[in-house]
Protein backbone atom coordinates (compact mmCIF):
# COMPACT_ATOMS: atom_id res chain seq x y z
CA UNK A 1 0.00 0.00 0.00
CA UNK A 2 2.81 2.37 0.90
CA UNK A 3 4.53 1.69 -2.46
CA UNK A 4 1.26 2.46 -4.26
CA UNK A 5 0.89 5.80 -2.43
CA UNK A 6 4.47 6.76 -3.24
CA UNK A 7 3.96 5.78 -6.87
CA UNK A 8 0.79 7.90 -7.16
CA UNK A 9 2.47 10.80 -5.40
CA UNK A 10 5.45 10.74 -7.76
CA UNK A 11 3.19 10.62 -10.82
CA UNK A 12 0.97 13.59 -9.84
CA UNK A 13 1.99 16.35 -12.21
CA UNK A 14 -1.28 18.25 -12.64
CA UNK A 15 -4.54 19.28 -11.00
CA UNK A 16 -8.05 19.59 -12.39
CA UNK A 17 -9.89 22.82 -11.56
CA UNK A 18 -13.56 21.90 -11.19
CA UNK A 19 -14.56 25.58 -11.01
CA UNK A 20 -18.27 26.40 -11.06
CA UNK A 21 -20.07 23.17 -11.84
CA UNK A 22 -23.11 24.30 -13.81
CA UNK A 23 -24.79 23.58 -17.15
CA UNK A 24 -23.02 24.55 -20.42
CA UNK A 25 -25.40 27.50 -20.97
CA UNK A 26 -24.63 28.90 -17.54
CA UNK A 27 -20.90 28.36 -18.17
CA UNK A 28 -21.12 30.63 -21.24
CA UNK A 29 -22.97 33.27 -19.22
CA UNK A 30 -20.35 33.06 -16.45
CA UNK A 31 -17.57 33.35 -19.03
CA UNK A 32 -19.07 36.56 -20.45
CA UNK A 33 -19.78 37.93 -16.96
CA UNK A 34 -16.24 37.32 -15.67
CA UNK A 35 -14.72 38.52 -18.94
CA UNK A 36 -16.60 41.81 -18.63
CA UNK A 37 -15.43 42.23 -15.03
CA UNK A 38 -11.83 41.45 -15.98
CA UNK A 39 -11.95 43.99 -18.81
CA UNK A 40 -13.17 46.64 -16.35
CA UNK A 41 -10.35 45.64 -13.96
CA UNK A 42 -7.70 46.01 -16.67
CA UNK A 43 -9.03 49.28 -18.09
CA UNK A 44 -9.79 50.81 -14.68
CA UNK A 45 -6.47 50.00 -13.01
CA UNK A 46 -4.28 50.77 -16.04
CA UNK A 47 -6.11 54.08 -16.46
CA UNK A 48 -5.51 54.90 -12.79
CA UNK A 49 -1.80 54.07 -13.12
CA UNK A 50 -1.44 56.19 -16.28
CA UNK A 51 -3.37 59.20 -14.94
CA UNK A 52 -1.33 59.28 -11.72
CA UNK A 53 1.90 58.86 -13.68
CA UNK A 54 1.34 61.66 -16.23
CA UNK A 55 -0.45 64.24 -14.03
CA UNK A 56 2.16 66.12 -12.01
CA UNK A 57 -0.48 67.32 -9.52
CA UNK A 58 -0.90 63.72 -8.39
CA UNK A 59 2.78 63.18 -7.68
CA UNK A 60 2.19 62.99 -3.93
CA UNK A 61 2.67 60.13 -1.44
CA UNK A 62 -1.07 59.32 -1.32
CA UNK A 63 -1.25 58.80 -5.08
CA UNK A 64 2.07 56.99 -5.16
CA UNK A 65 0.52 54.41 -2.84
CA UNK A 66 -2.69 54.40 -4.87
CA UNK A 67 -0.73 53.68 -8.04
CA UNK A 68 0.87 50.68 -6.32
CA UNK A 69 -2.57 49.53 -5.13
CA UNK A 70 -3.83 49.61 -8.72
CA UNK A 71 -0.77 47.67 -9.83
CA UNK A 72 -1.40 44.99 -7.19
CA UNK A 73 -5.10 44.72 -8.10
CA UNK A 74 -4.19 44.34 -11.76
CA UNK A 75 -1.51 41.74 -11.03
CA UNK A 76 -3.38 39.38 -8.75
CA UNK A 77 -6.56 39.43 -10.82
CA UNK A 78 -4.43 38.66 -13.90
CA UNK A 79 -2.85 35.73 -12.06
CA UNK A 80 -6.33 34.20 -11.66
CA UNK A 81 -8.59 35.48 -14.45
CA UNK A 82 -7.11 34.03 -17.69
CA UNK A 83 -7.07 30.44 -16.40
CA UNK A 84 -10.53 30.86 -14.88
CA UNK A 85 -11.94 32.14 -18.17
CA UNK A 86 -10.50 29.22 -20.15
CA UNK A 87 -12.06 26.67 -17.77
CA UNK A 88 -15.55 28.03 -18.55
CA UNK A 89 -15.32 27.14 -22.24
CA UNK A 90 -12.80 24.30 -22.32
CA UNK A 91 -13.27 20.66 -21.39
CA UNK A 92 -9.60 20.59 -20.43
CA UNK A 93 -9.60 22.14 -16.96
CA UNK A 94 -6.09 21.00 -16.09
CA UNK A 95 -3.33 23.05 -14.54
CA UNK A 96 0.18 21.70 -14.07
CA UNK A 97 1.59 21.12 -10.59
CA UNK A 98 4.23 23.82 -11.13
CA UNK A 99 1.62 26.12 -12.70
CA UNK A 100 -0.61 25.66 -9.67
CA UNK A 101 2.25 26.46 -7.27
CA UNK A 102 3.23 29.53 -9.32
CA UNK A 103 -0.36 30.79 -9.48
CA UNK A 104 -0.81 30.45 -5.73
CA UNK A 105 2.57 32.04 -4.94
CA UNK A 106 1.85 35.24 -6.89
CA UNK A 107 -1.74 35.40 -5.67
CA UNK A 108 -0.65 35.12 -2.02
CA UNK A 109 2.15 37.64 -2.66
CA UNK A 110 -0.18 40.27 -4.13
CA UNK A 111 -3.03 39.82 -1.63
CA UNK A 112 -0.68 39.83 1.36
CA UNK A 113 1.13 42.90 0.04
CA UNK A 114 -2.18 44.69 -0.52
CA UNK A 115 -3.12 44.18 3.14
CA UNK A 116 0.11 45.82 4.27
CA UNK A 117 -0.19 48.57 1.65
CA UNK A 118 -3.67 49.51 2.91
CA UNK A 119 -2.15 49.88 6.39
CA UNK A 120 0.60 52.10 4.93
CA UNK A 121 -2.04 54.24 3.22
CA UNK A 122 -3.84 54.67 6.57
CA UNK A 123 -0.54 55.77 8.15
CA UNK A 124 -0.07 58.25 5.28
CA UNK A 125 -3.48 59.84 6.00
CA UNK A 126 -2.60 59.93 9.71
CA UNK A 127 0.66 61.77 8.97
CA UNK A 128 -1.03 64.22 6.59
CA UNK A 129 -3.88 65.14 8.96
CA UNK A 130 -2.33 64.78 12.42
CA UNK A 131 1.22 65.99 11.65
CA UNK A 132 0.88 68.26 8.59
CA UNK A 133 4.05 70.28 9.33
CA UNK A 134 6.18 67.12 9.49
CA UNK A 135 4.37 65.35 6.65
CA UNK A 136 7.06 66.02 4.03
CA UNK A 137 9.65 64.60 6.44
CA UNK A 138 7.65 61.51 7.43
CA UNK A 139 6.55 60.84 3.86
CA UNK A 140 9.63 61.74 1.83
CA UNK A 141 10.17 59.96 -1.47
CA UNK A 142 12.66 57.57 0.12
CA UNK A 143 10.30 56.86 3.03
CA UNK A 144 7.44 56.07 0.62
CA UNK A 145 9.62 53.71 -1.41
CA UNK A 146 10.78 51.95 1.77
CA UNK A 147 7.18 51.54 2.98
CA UNK A 148 6.05 50.04 -0.34
CA UNK A 149 9.14 47.84 -0.52
CA UNK A 150 8.51 46.70 3.06
CA UNK A 151 4.93 45.80 2.13
CA UNK A 152 6.22 43.62 -0.71
CA UNK A 153 8.78 41.99 1.59
CA UNK A 154 6.10 41.11 4.16
CA UNK A 155 3.78 39.85 1.44
CA UNK A 156 6.63 37.83 -0.07
CA UNK A 157 7.53 36.19 3.26
CA UNK A 158 3.89 35.23 3.79
CA UNK A 159 3.68 33.85 0.24
CA UNK A 160 6.89 31.82 0.47
CA UNK A 161 5.89 30.24 3.79
CA UNK A 162 2.37 29.36 2.65
CA UNK A 163 3.52 28.07 -0.75
CA UNK A 164 6.33 26.04 0.82
CA UNK A 165 4.10 24.41 3.41
CA UNK A 166 1.20 23.78 1.01
CA UNK A 167 3.20 22.26 -1.84
CA UNK A 168 5.27 20.09 0.49
CA UNK A 169 2.07 18.10 1.11
CA UNK A 170 1.56 14.70 -0.50
CA UNK A 171 -1.21 14.26 -3.07
CA UNK A 172 -1.91 10.57 -3.54
CA UNK A 173 -3.82 10.27 -6.79
CA UNK A 174 -6.73 12.65 -6.09
CA UNK A 175 -6.06 15.80 -8.12
CA UNK A 176 -9.52 17.40 -8.52
CA UNK A 177 -9.63 20.85 -6.88
CA UNK A 178 -13.16 22.01 -6.11
CA UNK A 179 -12.25 25.61 -6.88
CA UNK A 180 -11.60 27.91 -9.84
CA UNK A 181 -7.95 28.52 -8.91
CA UNK A 182 -5.25 26.98 -6.72
CA UNK A 183 -6.05 28.00 -3.15
CA UNK A 184 -4.88 26.56 0.17
CA UNK A 185 -8.21 25.20 1.52
CA UNK A 186 -8.91 23.29 -1.72
CA UNK A 187 -5.36 21.86 -1.82
CA UNK A 188 -5.41 20.87 1.84
CA UNK A 189 -8.72 19.07 1.30
CA UNK A 190 -7.35 16.64 -1.31
CA UNK A 191 -4.02 15.95 0.41
CA UNK A 192 -3.46 12.45 1.77
CA UNK A 193 -1.00 13.70 4.41
CA UNK A 194 -1.62 15.08 7.90
CA UNK A 195 -2.57 18.72 7.25
CA UNK A 196 -2.93 19.89 10.85
CA UNK A 197 0.40 21.78 10.79
CA UNK A 198 -0.53 23.43 7.48
CA UNK A 199 -3.87 24.58 8.87
CA UNK A 200 -2.20 25.99 12.00
CA UNK A 201 0.38 27.84 9.88
CA UNK A 202 -2.38 29.22 7.63
CA UNK A 203 -4.39 30.56 10.58
CA UNK A 204 -1.35 31.97 12.39
CA UNK A 205 -0.08 33.82 9.30
CA UNK A 206 -3.56 35.10 8.45
CA UNK A 207 -4.12 36.23 12.04
CA UNK A 208 -0.74 38.00 12.19
CA UNK A 209 -1.37 39.88 8.95
CA UNK A 210 -4.95 40.79 9.87
CA UNK A 211 -4.15 41.84 13.45
CA UNK A 212 -1.02 43.81 12.50
CA UNK A 213 -2.53 45.70 9.58
CA UNK A 214 -5.94 46.36 11.15
CA UNK A 215 -4.26 47.65 14.32
CA UNK A 216 -2.31 50.20 12.27
CA UNK A 217 -5.49 51.19 10.39
CA UNK A 218 -7.71 51.46 13.48
CA UNK A 219 -5.13 53.41 15.52
CA UNK A 220 -4.44 55.75 12.58
CA UNK A 221 -8.12 56.53 12.08
CA UNK A 222 -8.69 56.92 15.81
CA UNK A 223 -6.10 59.72 15.83
CA UNK A 224 -7.50 61.13 12.57
CA UNK A 225 -11.03 61.24 14.01
CA UNK A 226 -9.76 62.90 17.18
CA UNK A 227 -7.95 65.55 15.12
CA UNK A 228 -10.87 66.15 12.77
CA UNK A 229 -13.32 66.64 15.65
CA UNK A 230 -11.13 69.47 16.96
CA UNK A 231 -11.59 71.46 13.74
CA UNK A 232 -14.11 74.22 14.55
CA UNK A 233 -15.97 74.49 11.24
CA UNK A 234 -18.22 71.78 9.84
CA UNK A 235 -16.97 72.50 6.32
CA UNK A 236 -13.36 72.10 7.47
CA UNK A 237 -14.12 68.79 9.17
CA UNK A 238 -15.90 67.48 6.07
CA UNK A 239 -13.15 68.62 3.70
CA UNK A 240 -10.40 67.08 5.84
CA UNK A 241 -12.13 63.77 6.37
CA UNK A 242 -13.14 63.53 2.68
CA UNK A 243 -9.51 62.74 1.83
CA UNK A 244 -9.95 59.49 3.78
CA UNK A 245 -13.37 58.42 2.49
CA UNK A 246 -12.14 56.44 -0.52
CA UNK A 247 -9.52 54.61 1.54
CA UNK A 248 -12.07 53.77 4.25
CA UNK A 249 -14.40 52.30 1.61
CA UNK A 250 -11.61 50.19 0.07
CA UNK A 251 -10.44 48.98 3.50
CA UNK A 252 -14.02 48.08 4.46
CA UNK A 253 -14.43 46.00 1.29
CA UNK A 254 -11.09 44.23 1.65
CA UNK A 255 -11.20 43.46 5.36
CA UNK A 256 -14.97 42.95 5.37
CA UNK A 257 -14.41 39.99 3.06
CA UNK A 258 -11.53 38.72 5.23
CA UNK A 259 -13.53 38.97 8.44
CA UNK A 260 -16.56 37.36 6.80
CA UNK A 261 -14.43 34.41 5.77
CA UNK A 262 -12.65 33.86 9.08
CA UNK A 263 -15.61 34.74 11.31
CA UNK A 264 -17.49 31.82 9.77
CA UNK A 265 -15.33 28.67 9.87
CA UNK A 266 -17.88 26.83 7.76
CA UNK A 267 -17.08 29.11 4.85
CA UNK A 268 -13.63 27.57 4.60
CA UNK A 269 -14.89 23.97 4.70
CA UNK A 270 -17.71 24.72 2.26
CA UNK A 271 -16.38 24.80 -1.35
CA UNK A 272 -19.31 26.89 -2.59
CA UNK A 273 -18.87 29.59 0.07
CA UNK A 274 -15.11 29.60 -0.50
CA UNK A 275 -15.67 30.20 -4.23
CA UNK A 276 -18.09 33.09 -3.61
CA UNK A 277 -15.67 34.74 -1.18
CA UNK A 278 -12.78 34.16 -3.60
CA UNK A 279 -14.74 35.90 -6.38
CA UNK A 280 -14.76 39.04 -4.20
CA UNK A 281 -10.98 38.81 -3.70
CA UNK A 282 -10.04 38.08 -7.28
CA UNK A 283 -12.62 39.98 -9.33
CA UNK A 284 -15.00 42.29 -7.46
CA UNK A 285 -12.56 44.21 -5.23
CA UNK A 286 -9.94 44.81 -7.99
CA UNK A 287 -12.79 46.09 -10.18
CA UNK A 288 -14.28 48.40 -7.53
CA UNK A 289 -11.07 49.96 -6.17
CA UNK A 290 -10.27 52.21 -9.18
CA UNK A 291 -13.98 53.08 -9.51
CA UNK A 292 -14.17 54.11 -5.85
CA UNK A 293 -11.06 56.29 -6.07
CA UNK A 294 -12.10 57.87 -9.39
CA UNK A 295 -15.72 58.55 -8.38
CA UNK A 296 -15.16 59.66 -4.78
CA UNK A 297 -11.91 61.58 -5.20
CA UNK A 298 -12.17 65.08 -6.64
CA UNK A 299 -8.48 65.33 -7.54
CA UNK A 300 -8.58 62.06 -9.51
CA UNK A 301 -11.74 63.15 -11.37
CA UNK A 302 -10.11 66.47 -12.29
CA UNK A 303 -6.94 64.65 -13.38
CA UNK A 304 -8.96 62.32 -15.63
CA UNK A 305 -10.72 65.33 -17.20
CA UNK A 306 -7.39 67.11 -17.77
CA UNK A 307 -5.94 63.97 -19.37
CA UNK A 308 -8.95 63.54 -21.68
CA UNK A 309 -8.93 67.21 -22.68
CA UNK A 310 -5.20 67.03 -23.39
CA UNK A 311 -5.70 64.01 -25.68
CA UNK A 312 -8.63 65.67 -27.46
CA UNK A 313 -6.61 68.83 -28.02
CA UNK A 314 -3.86 66.78 -29.70
CA UNK A 315 -6.42 65.39 -32.15
Q: Which tens digit of pLDDT belongs to each residue from 26-74?
A: 889 999 999 999 999 999 999 889 888 888 788 889 889 999 999 999 9
Instruction: Give the per-residue pLDDT at 169.
Output: 87
- Whether the CB-CB separation of 17 and 267 falls below 8 Å is answered with no
- Report pLDDT digits (tens) over 245-260: 888 888 888 888 776 6
Dist. CA 52–CA 47, nearest whole Å: 9
Instruction: Give the per-residue pLDDT at 247.
Output: 84
3 pLDDT more than 50? no
Q: What pTM value is reported for the model?
A: 0.88
What percentage of the chain exceeds 70 in pLDDT? Answer: 85
Instruction: Give the per-residue pLDDT at 175.
Output: 87
Average pLDDT of the chain? 84
- Whether the CB-CB separation of 129 and 227 falls below 8 Å is answered with yes
- Report pLDDT digits (tens) over 87-124: 888 888 889 999 999 999 999 999 999 999 999 999 99
Q: How far is CA 47 from CA 69, 250, 277, 291, in A?
A: 13, 18, 26, 11
Instruction: Give the per-residue pLDDT at 231.
Output: 79
* CATH class (in words) of the domain with range 18-304: mainly alpha
Dist. CA 281–CA 79, nearest whole Å: 12
Please report, in angstroms and rounded to a whole number, the separation of the first and last CA atoms in the chain. 73
Domain range list for the chain? 18-304
If DSSP codes are grouped into helix, strand and coil, which group holds residue 12? coil
Amino acid sequence: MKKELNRNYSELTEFILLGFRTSPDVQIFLFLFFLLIYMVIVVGNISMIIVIKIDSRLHTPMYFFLRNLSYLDLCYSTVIAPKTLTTFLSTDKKISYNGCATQFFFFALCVGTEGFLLAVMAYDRFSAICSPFLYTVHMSQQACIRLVFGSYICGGINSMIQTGFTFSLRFCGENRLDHFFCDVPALIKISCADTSVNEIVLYILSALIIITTTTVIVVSYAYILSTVLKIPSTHGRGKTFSTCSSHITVVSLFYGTVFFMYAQPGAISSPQKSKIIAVFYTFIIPMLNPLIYSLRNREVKHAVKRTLLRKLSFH
